[in-house]
Amino acid sequence: MNINWTIVLSALGLAFVLEGVPYFLLPDRMPKVLRTLAEQPPRSLRILGLTAILLGLLVIWLARSLH
């Protein structure tokens, strides 16, 4: 298996950028958002995480099918 490290590191960098955007654009609201997330039951967080994973895979699949 040959791993293209340029793509892996680019994807990791993009993930960091996307994670940082809300903190940069809405620094005053992020503590409330994080408190709200912390108060959610684990099942809700799992569903949210699974939804994010599936949407991410869908975006990757769509992007690769256009290429």
Q: Where are the beta strands (DSSP E) in 1-67?
A: none
Give how far Cα 58 sits from Cα of 6, 36, 67, Å: 21, 27, 14
Token pair for 16: 């960091």
- Render pLDDT for 18-59 as a digit per residue (tens, 0 to 9): 999 999 999 999 999 999 999 999 999 999 999 999 999 999
Token pair for 65: 């099918």
pLDDT of residue 67: 74
Domain ranges of the chain: 5-66
pLDDT of residue 51: 98
Residues 12 and 65: their CA atoms lie apart, in Å, by: 21
Taking a C-beta distance cutoff of 8 angstroms, is the pair 22, 30 a contact? yes
Token pair for 8: 């892996």
